[in-house]
Structure 1
């Protein structure tokens, strides 16, 4: 099976053989790698009309939602300098719904 990829602005996301990888294309030190079993992703909006912050991390419980994870479900997380406007959130939801299916997990 070919890797499942998604590109958004300066970010390249990739899932291959049970591993999620994030690459910041303009900053090579902005990378993240985690097994799908433990991946948690959240776009957190403080204000509905403002861009949200994209969080990637490790969840405490592998049965937690892969995308839309509650911040309390994270064991640890990182928030690269990626902002997501509310209108672009469905793009992430679509991609991570496919990723969740590969990992036999759900989205919130």
Structure 2
């Protein structure tokens, strides 16, 4: 199976052989098995950009996307803000990843 990738500005996300990888600018990298992947675009205010959080969840039964912040054991944020209109692009990608991992999205 080919890797599943998503590129957005300087962010590159990739899933290959059960491992999620995040690459950003300045050489930032993050890897986690799909069973522990969690992702969320957290909006504090409805009309403002949200902060992208990607990390490892404590419970593998937690949602893969739309993860509750308290479910994370570790998060990384590449100082990346997502405009409200672009959040559906991330949702589509992480929904495909969740289906591959037999996990759910919120």
Structure 1 and Structure 2 fold alike (TM over 0.5): yes
* Distance in 1, Cα, partners of 2:10 & 2:65: 20
CA RMSD of aligned residues (A): 0.6
Deviations 1:34-58 (A, max 9, x none): 0000000010011111100000111
Deviations 1:17-41 (A, max 9, x none): 00000011x311x111000000000
More helix by share: 2
Structure 1 runs (4+) deviating above 6 angstroms are: none
Q: Secondary structure at the match of 1:27?
A: helix
Please point out which of 98, 101, 105 is paired with 1:100. Answer: 98
Extract unaligned runs of 5+ from structure 1.
none
* Distance in 1, Cα, partners of 2:77 & 2:89: 18
* Distance in 1, Cα, partners of 2:51 & 2:30: 16
Tell me how far 1:78 sits from its aligned partner. Answer: 1.3
Tell me how far 1:60 sits from its aligned partner. Answer: 1.1
The two structures have a TM-score, normalised by structure 2, of 0.98
Residue correspondences, number: 106
Extract unaligned runs of 5+ from structure 2.
none
Matched, 1:12 2:12: yes
